[in-house]
Amino acid sequence: MEFTTGDLKALFRAFSARMATERDRLCALDGVIGDADHGIAMEQGMKAAADAAQTAEGTLQDVFNAAAKGFLNAVGASSGPLYATALLRAGKAAGPSGSMPRSELRTVIAAIRDGIAQRGKAEPGQKTMLDAWAPAADAAVDGQDADAIAAAARQGAEATRDMIATIGRAARLGERSLGHPDPGSVSAAMLVEEICNAMGKAV
Amino acid sequence: MSLTQKLINDGNAAVDEMLAGILAAHPEHLWRPDNAPRAIVARHGPRTGKVALVVGGGSGHEPTFLGYVGKGLADAAAIGNVFASPPPQPAVDAAMAASGGAGVLFMYGNYAGDVMNFDMAAELLEMEGVEARTVLTTDDIASAPRNQRQKRRGVAGNVFIFKAAGAAADMMMPLGEVERIARHANDRTFTMGVALSSCSLPQTRRPSFDLPVGEMEIGMGIHGEPGVRRGPLRSANDVADEIMDAILAEMKAPAGDRVAVLVNSLGATPLMELYILNARIAERLKAAGLVVHKTLVGPYCTSLDMAGASITIMHLDDELQRMIDHPCDCAMFRS
C-alpha cells in the first residue's frame, strides 16, 4: 500500500502529539545534563511542523519542506537547524510525487540521519540524537522490519547513558554526563517509533 | 522554592515586548523592517558599497547585541529567544535590510546553535546572490584550553571585537579586509568572568543553577555554563588578580604595549564594584608595563539578572587602536 501526502500529514500530527505528551519527561532528562528546555523545543517545533504540513499542498517533498520551515522558524536554537535539515533531506528522498511505497520510509529514516549528521557535524558515539537515528537508519537500510528499526533506535538512546558527551551543550560536563541518557536521543527514538508505526500499518 | 521577582508581563512575550520598548526609545538609531519582527537595523550606517556587519544571538545579554547596532559599529542584529539562537530567517532579514552590495559579515559568539542557524542563513543569502562570511568570537579563556581556542565561547569581548570590525566596515574596507580585522581583533581579545549568583529565565523565574551564598564560580559562561572551579567568595582584589594572572599569562604582551579594558557587569553587580575591580586592574596593567589606551566600565554584555563581572583585555596594535578610536553612534553605546 502507498504512503500518501495524507499519511505524511498524519505522521506529523503523530510527531506533534507524541512530543506534547512527552514534554515534561524530556525536560526533566535535559535538566540533568543541559538547560531543561529540550521538551519545550521539541513540542513547539513539531507543533509548528505539523501545522505547516497540514496546510501544505503538492507532493511529499512539498509537505516535508513546509514542515522543515515550520519547525525551524518556531525554534531556532540547536534542534531547529538539525530537524529542519533532516526534514529537507527526507523530502528529497521521498521526492516530488504524491505517494511512495510505505517501505520507502526506510530511505526517509536514512535521509534524516544524513541530514542531522551533516548539519551537526557529528558522529555516532558523541551522546547526541544521532545515537538513536544512526542505528535506526542502519537497520532500515539493512531492510529490517519496523519493529526491529524502532528497537534499534531505543537501544541506541539507552546506550547514550554510557557515553561522555563530546559535542553540544553537555560536552563541557565531561564525565559528569555519564549515567544520564541524552534527551535528544530519547526524543529521536520516539520519532522513529512513530515512523515505524506508519510503516508497519500496511506492510 | 519561591519565584524570582521580575518586572515582566508574560515570560514568553518578554523578548518581543522588550523590542517594542527599544524601538520606542531609539527611533533615531534603530528601525525594524516590515514582516521581520526579530531583525533590528541601524538607521544610519548601512549604505551602498559598504560591507554589512550583522551580529546576533540569544536575548538576555542586553545591551549585547542590538545595543551595538549603529553607525560605525554593527549594521543590524538578529534577535533570538532568551539564551537561544535566532532561526536563520531573522539573520537573513537583518542581512538583506543592511546589505549595501559589498557582502555581509556575520559575527556572533561561538555556540553550536548559533553556528548552525547563521550557517543556514549564509546559505540562504548565497541563493539570493549575497556573499556572506562569518567570524566567530572566542574570547572566553576559561571555556577551553589555549590550544583549543576555536572551541572557546564568545562573551563580553564581543564589544571590542564587533567595534573593530564595524570600524573597518565603516571605513569602506572590502569584505576580505573587514573579515581579516575581525579575526585579528578576536585573536587579541581575552575575557574571564566570575559569577556570584545565578540568573533566572523570564519563562521559569527559577534560578538556572545552584550557587550557595558565600560561594562564587570562577570562569562561568554568560548562560550559567559551569566555569573553571567553584570556591568561597573572595575580595575584589583577589578576584581581579586571579583573572588578570590568567589573561596576562595568555596575552604575553611586551612592556610598553597598549591595551583596551572592559570591566563588565553580568547584570546585577553595581558600578561601584566594577570600579573597585578596575582600580586593581589598572595597578596590575601598570605593573606589567602596559599602557591603558581606553577603559569601558558598566553592563556591556549581561546574563539577565546574574550577579558577577567579567574582565576583558584587548591587546592593541596600531591597526586595532585605530579601529577602537573610530567614532560610533549606537542606541546604547557611543564613542
**One-letter amino acid identity for B134?**
T
Q: Is B38 on the interface with A (CB under 8 A)?
A: no
Which chain B residues touch A80 with a CB distance below 8 Å? 85, 87, 113, 116-117
Considering Cα of A111, then A116, then A118, then A124, what sign does the dihedral take? negative
Which chain A residue has the Cα nearest residue B143? A172
Quick one: cell of B136?
A: 566567530
Name the A residues in 107-146 with CB < 8 Å from any B CB: 119-120
When CB atoms are compared, the residue of A36, A77, A82 closest to B84 is: A77
Contact: A80, B226; criterion CB under 8 Å: no
Q: What Cα–Cα distance (Å) separates residue B289 from each residue in B185, B252, B265, B301?
A: 21, 12, 26, 28
Write the burial class of residue B290 (CB in 10 Å: 0-12 exposed, 13-18 middle, 19+ buried). Answer: buried
- Average of per-residue pLDDT across B98-125: 95
Contact: B116, A78; criterion CB under 8 Å: yes
Contact: A81, B88; criterion CB under 8 Å: yes
Which chain B residues touch A36 with a CB distance below 8 Å? 204
pLDDT at B198: 85
Contact: A35, B112; criterion CB under 8 Å: no
pLDDT at B211: 84
CA distance A190 to A29: 14
Helix (H) or strand (E) holding B258: strand B258-265
Q: In chain B, helix, strand, coil percent, each to 5?
A: 35, 25, 40
Does residue B167 contact residue B74 with C-beta atoms inside 8 Å?
A: no
Name the B residues in 219-238 with CB < 8 Å from any A CB: 223, 225-226
Q: Is B265 on the interface with A (CB under 8 A)?
A: no
pLDDT at A35: 67
Q: Is A167 on the interface with B (CB under 8 A)?
A: yes
Count other Cβ atoms within 10 Å, centred on residue B295. 15
When CB atoms are compared, the residue of B113, B204, B208 closest to A76 is: B113
Write the burial class of residue B229 (CB in 10 Å: 0-12 exposed, 13-18 middle, 19+ buried). Answer: exposed
Q: Which residue has the cell 531609539?
A: B26
Considering Cα of A20, then A25, then A31, then A33, what sign does the dihedral take? negative
pLDDT at A30: 76
Which chain B residue has the Cα nearest residue A38? B84
At B173-203, the pLDDT tens digits run: 999 999 999 999 999 999 999 999 988 888 7
Which chain B residues touch A74 with a CB distance below 8 Å? 87
- Average of per-residue pLDDT across B25-34: 98
Q: Which residues contact B218 (CB under 8 A, 6 or more apart)?
A: B142, B192, B194, B227, B228, B229, B230, B231, B239, B242, B243
Write the burial class of residue B56 (CB in 10 Å: 0-12 exposed, 13-18 middle, 19+ buried). Answer: buried
Which chain A residue has the Cα nearest residue B228? A172
Q: Which residues contact A140 (CB under 8 A, 6 or more apart)?
A: A105, A106, A107, A109, A110, A149
Which chain A residues touch B88 with a CB distance below 8 Å? 72, 81
DSSP string, B55-107: EEEEESSTTTTGGGBEETSBSEEEEEEETSPPPHHHHHHHHHHH--SS-EEEE
Which chain A residues touch B205 with a CB distance below 8 Å? none
CA distance A56 to A63: 5
Pick from A73, A79, A87 the residue to mutate for testing the B interface (most B CBs within 10 Å).
Answer: A73
When CB atoms are compared, the residue of B87, B208, B223 closest to A76 is: B87
Does residue A160 contact residue A185 with C-beta atoms inside 8 Å?
A: yes
Q: Which residue has the cell 534524516?
A: A112
pLDDT tens for each residue of chain A, 203 residues long: 899 999 999 999 999 999 999 988 887 787 777 666 788 889 989 999 999 999 999 999 999 999 999 999 988 888 999 999 999 999 999 999 999 999 999 999 999 999 999 999 999 999 999 999 999 999 999 999 999 999 999 999 999 999 988 887 677 667 777 888 999 999 999 999 999 999 986 44
Tell me the catalytic residues of B.
61, 223
At B216-263, the pLDDT tens digits run: 999 888 877 777 788 999 999 999 999 999 999 999 999 999 999 999
Nearest of A6, A196, A197, A198 to residue A99 by alpha carbon = A6
Contact: B81, A76; criterion CB under 8 Å: yes
Which chain A residues touch B81 with a CB distance below 8 Å? 76-77
Alpha carbon of A132: minimum distance to chain B alpha carbons (Å): 20
Q: Is the pTM of this model over 0.95?
A: no
A143: helix, strand or coil: coil
